[in-house]
Chains A and B, each alone.
Chain A
Amino acid sequence: MKQNITSLEISIKDLTKRYGKIYALDTVSLDIKAGEFLTLLGPSGSGKTTLLMAIAGFNRPDSGSIKFANQEMILTPPHKREVGMVFQNYALFPHMSVFENIGFPLKLRKAPNDQIKEKVHDALKTVQLSDYADRKIDQLSGGQRQRVALARAFVFGPRILLMDEPLSALDKKLREQMQIELKQLHRKLGVTTVYVTHDQREALTMSDRIAVINEGKIEQLGTPKEIYNSPNSSFVADFIGESSFLQLNRKGNDLYFSSEKIITNKKLNKNKEWAMVIRPERLSIVNKSYRKNSSNIHFSGEISELVFQGETALALVKLMEGNFLSVRLSTKSSDDFDNLKTGKKIQLCMNRKDVIIIPH
């Protein structure tokens, strides 16, 4: 059942919103493609919710422009924007049944009764709650309320769907299940979706593109792979995924860590210090038969902490130079792990291709 919804592109330009002296949004520009699933990712207080509320029309920015498909919306009141929204605490109407909640937007649009019935039942089927139409809201579990809120947000065929941390109140298992379901729903409806979360794993799982927001600015915009594999700042590298940072020394256009040359002949901004970002899973422990080669970078040190986490294990390695690196270890075969213990001296290697350099 592919619903025929024409999705819209959103074009945000130089959007600024101040609360007192604090910039919640600082000249934010962002183009969201039609039909795209875009996530606004950032810590609390970064401005991601302010941006979402501005798109929905619940706060009035100080300056800037928000366009839906080239139509300026900055002064349009929220009830005329035709945007579906899922709120953080669902914001369902407690005095109405599930059916009435979902039928509410249709009733406002003066749809005939039989059409309301049909659409609500379709929506309930989509969110797998067909038998719950007559339930009261307080008779539903958290996950079911979530689905009702979702159905209510898309039942009237909005061209844009906004979600404000919709899964944050659910437990981990249900949250992961809903992530998949939301993604499937997005594919089915094809509606432009803007999703707000502070959970980096959730963002990586669901998004076509991620906009990482910090202190009212977009730090980086890209696909999950781009954001993870080539973060452009220490904030992004630190916020998304686990990482260790190593300060690099500079000789001309080359960067060194200790005596190991990391980067050669790169055009470097003169005034900046540089650091290397190392993802724990990109490092591996070498065995005795291994020979050093130039396509890899090598470190040596000793294990200072060893944590078994089930599907993987994590080792904290103290390098000879005094820095610490996190290393993700496989537990595929129990031998790999059982040979290790704290205090053991080891050699680490990683592929030179996986080196990430950021200004520090």
Chain B
Amino acid sequence: MNEKLLKSAERKEQLLLTALTIPALISVTLIIVIPVGWLFSLSFLGKSGDFSLENYQKMIVYKSYFRVFKTTFNVSFLTTIFCILLGYPLAYFLSQVPKKLVGIFMITVLLPFWTSLLVRTYAWLVLLQKKGMINNFAIDMGIWETPIKLAHNLNGTLVGMIHIMLPFMVLPLYAAMQRIDRQTMQAASNLGATPIQAFWQIFVPLSLPGVAAGSLIVFILCLGFYVTPAVLGGGKVIMVSMQITAILEDQFNWGAASALGVVLLVTTFIFLLLASRFLKLDSIMFGKH
């Protein structure tokens, strides 16, 4: 009874649901698909304006391109590692503090997060430069005698990037640690584990999804960094995004710049793909165990 009516009602409902996604589909197409497609096609245009692979050939031929990619991955990797080393103890502390106090300590994580990236980068420049606060202070205290070069190099870049990326590491870590059942730690200790054994054998393995999620976010965001390495690197740390700007400013070569962008995009996708393969990305992002 009523089979046909019910079936057509169901079909109507599905059509309606599909229709509701149209505004989102249009905006995604306009904002992402078309520009990226355009970028992609531009990268295959040579200087003469015809189809050619010269933009990609250049990347293989010239060592400088390889160096830029190497620097980019190097900086991103180091930033991620230091973010784990600094962020893990901080997130652990937050996860152990009484619930009432978490909000207060969380502000120390979030406040820099809410401050403009440019402001923070220049603040670090003020602190780290040759006659900056850190050098002055250290010399006044007699810790070292002549100013040490803290900014305008890889160290300065890393300090700035780690500071900016730290919240992206701490927040997923904290979320993962929050999910760890306190009773599992009690159980470990009940079964004979010292606090240190319980930490390494139970707590750390259970917090690894958070480490993976945080690392992935930090690493991928680092790949596209521009302002901080530009300001704090002093021209010595050239990342892909800076190279793209340089090509546009110096040579006005849209094709070469697009090709670099495409390669960066593709490598990022490959990373995401590998990560989702080995890290069970959905369980990290959506907290399934």
Give A contacts to B, CB under 8 Å.
56, 58, 77-85, 87-89, 91-95, 104-105, 108-109, 138, 152, 156
A133, B181: Cα distance in complex, Å: 23
Residues of B within 8 A of A87 (CB): 183, 186-187
Known: A79-B195, A105-B191. 12 other contacts (CB 8 A): A78-B189, A79-B190, A84-B190, A91-B181, A91-B187, A92-B184, A94-B289, A95-B205, A104-B193, A104-B201, A108-B191, A156-B192
What residue in chain A is nearest B185 (Cβ atoms)? A91
Is the Cβ of B206 less than 8 Å from the Cβ of A58? no
Measured in the bound complex, the distance between the Cα atoms of B188 and A56 in whole Å is: 12
Q: Which residue of B184, B194, B202, B289 is within 8 Å of A79 (Cβ)?
A: B194
Closest Cβ of chain B to A191, distance in Å, is 15
B window 147-191: CB within 8 A of A: 181, 183-184, 186-191
Write the nearest CB–CB distance from B210 to chain A, whole angstroms.
Answer: 13
Q: Does B64 contact A (CB under 8 A)?
A: no
Closest 7 CB pairs of A and B: A91-B183, A91-B187, A105-B191, A108-B192, A78-B189, A85-B190, A79-B189
A-B residue pairs in contact (CB < 8 Å), sample of 20: A58-B190, A77-B189, A81-B190, A82-B192, A85-B187, A85-B190, A87-B186, A88-B183, A91-B184, A91-B186, A93-B188, A95-B206, A104-B191, A104-B193, A105-B192, A108-B192, A108-B197, A152-B187, A152-B191, A156-B191
**Mask of B200-229 contacts with A, CB within 8 angstroms, 1/0:** 011001100000000000000000000000
Give the complex CA separation of A83 and B191 in angstroms. Answer: 8
Give the residues in chain B near A88, CB-CB below 8 Å: 183
Which residue of chain B has its CB nearest to the CB of A56?
B190
Are B206 and A78 neighbours in the complex by a CB distance under 8 Å? no
Closest Cβ neighbor of B198 among chain A residues: A79
Interface size on B, residues (CB 8 A): 20
**Which chain A residue has the least Cβ–Cβ distance from B208?**
A95
- Tell me the smallest distance from the CB of A315 to a CB of chain B, in Å: 45
Most buried by B among A82, A85, A89, A152: A85
Asked if B192 contacts A58 (CB within 8 A), the reply is no
Q: Are A93 and B192 in contact (CB under 8 A)?
A: no
How far apart sit A81 and B190, CA to CA, in the bound complex (Å)? 8
CB distance from A133 to the nearest CB of B (A): 18
A81 to B198, CA, bound (A): 16
B contact residues around A81 at 8 Å (CB): 190
Pairwise interchain contact A89-B181, C-beta atoms closer than 8 A: yes
Quote the shortest CB–CB distance from A104 to chain B (angstroms): 6
Which residue of B has the minimal Cβ distance to A79? B189
CB-CB < 8 A to B189: which residues of A? 58, 77-79
Known contacts: A93-B202, A95-B206. The answer to whether A83 contacts B190 by CB under 8 A is yes
- Chain B nearest CB: distance from A51 CB in Å? 16
The answer on a CB contact under 8 Å between B190 and A94 is: no
Chain B contact residues, majority secondary structure = helix
Among B191, B197, B202, B206, which residue has the most Cβ atoms of chain A within 10 A?
B191
A293, chain B: closest CB distance, angstroms: 59
Q: Specify which chain A residues have a CB less than 8 angstroms from the CB of B192 in the assembled complex.
A: 79-80, 82, 105, 108-109, 156
Closest chain-A Cβ to B105's Cβ sits at a distance in Å of 24
By a CB distance below 8 angstroms, the chain B residues around A84 are 190-191
A123 to B251, alpha carbons, bound, how many Å?
A: 74
Q: CA of A108 to CA of B191 in the docked complex: distance in angstroms?
A: 8
Name which residue of chain A comes closest to B209, CB basis: A95
Known: A79-B193, A108-B193, A138-B289. A94 touches B187 (CB 8 A): no
Contacts of B190 in A (CB 8 A): 56, 58, 78-79, 81, 83-85
| Contact, CB under 8 Å: B206 / A94 | yes
Residues of chain A within 8 A (CB-CB) of B183 are 87-89, 91
A236 to chain B, nearest CB (A): 30
Instruction: Name the CB-closest residue of B to A58.
Output: B186
| Given A78-B189, A138-B289, CB of A93 within 8 Å of CB of B194 | no
Q: Considering the chains assembled together, what is the distance between the CA atoms of A77 and B193 in angstroms?
A: 11
CB distance from A17 to the nearest CB of B (A): 17
- Chain A residues near B197 (CB-CB < 8 A): 108
Per the bound structure, the CA–CA distance linking A78 and B205 in Å amounts to: 22
A206 → chain B, closest Cβ, in Å? 21
Q: How far is the CA of A36 from the CA of B194 in the complex (A)?
A: 29
Report B37 CB to chain A, min CB distance, Å. 42
Question: Given the complex, which residues of B lie within 8 Å of A82, measured CB to CB?
Answer: 192
CA distance A293 to B188 in the complex (A): 64
Question: What CA separation (Å) do A49 and B91 show in the bound complex?
Answer: 30
Bound-complex Cα distance A80 to B191 (A): 9
Distance in angstroms between the alpha carbons of A151 and B198 in the assembled complex: 19
Closest beta carbon of chain A to B168's beta carbon, Å: 24
For A109, the chain B residues whose CB sits under 8 A away are 192
Residues of A within 8 A of B201 (CB): 104
Q: In the complex, which residues of chain B have a beta carbon less than 8 angstroms from the beta carbon of A58? A: 186, 189-190
A232 → B minimal CB distance (Å): 34
What are the residues of chain B within 8 A of A78 when measuring CB–CB? 186, 189-190
**A31 vs B198: C-alpha distance in the bound complex, in angstroms?**
32
User: In the complex, A138 Cα to B289 Cα: how many Å?
Assistant: 8
Interface 1/0 per residue, B230-271 and A, CB below 8 Å: 000000000000000000000000000000000000000000
- Nearest to B288 among chain A residues (CB) is A138
Which residue of chain B is the closest to A102 with respect to CB atoms? B191
Q: How far is the CB of A115 from chain B (nearest CB, A)?
A: 15
In the complex, chain A residues whose CB is within 8 Å of the CB of B289? 94, 138
A80 to B189, CA, bound (A): 9
Q: How far apart are the CA atoms of A77 and B188 in the complex, in Å? A: 12
CA distance A85 to B195 in the complex (A): 17
CB distance from B258 to the nearest CB of A (A): 45
Complexed CA–CA distance, A156 and B197 (Å): 17
